[in-house]
């Protein structure tokens, strides 16, 4: 009986150590991903995406909280959306030869 309890205790310690190791690995990987991502790079990618992406960004910012910063971000998103749609329309009307 005592031997089985010792085995269970050792198994519990092993599982706890594995769990701690996996948590550390996940934390390390999240930090690495966070280092590779930036808000400016994400914004540039969103603006350079198809007009649908810009429209989704504008809608997401439009639904944000009603603070002064959110209103400013929403206004900027609408301006970017209009500029992007205008550039797409101009390219369709006057294609480059």
Residue 97: pLDDT band with limits 50, 70, 90: low
pLDDT digits (tens, 9 = 90+) for 31-89: 887 777 766 666 666 666 656 555 666 666 665 555 676 777 778 888 888 888 888 88
pTM, entire model: 0.38
Angstrom distance (rounded) from CA 83 to CA 89: 10
With bands split at pLDDT 50, 70 and 90, how would you rate the model's confidence at 93? confident
């Amino acid at each position: 009986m005592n031997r089985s309890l010792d085995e269970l205790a050792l198994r519990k310690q092993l599982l706890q150590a594995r769990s701690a190791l996996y948590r550390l690995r996940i934390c390390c990987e999240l930090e690495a991903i966070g280092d590779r991502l930036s808000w400016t790079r994400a914004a540039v990618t969103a603006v350079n995406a198809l007009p649908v992406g810009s429209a989704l960004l504008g809608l997401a910012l439009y639904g944000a909280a009603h603070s002064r910063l959110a209103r400013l971000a929403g206004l900027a998103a609408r301006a970017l959306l209009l500029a992007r749609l205008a550039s797409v329309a101009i390219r369709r009307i006057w294609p480059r030869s």
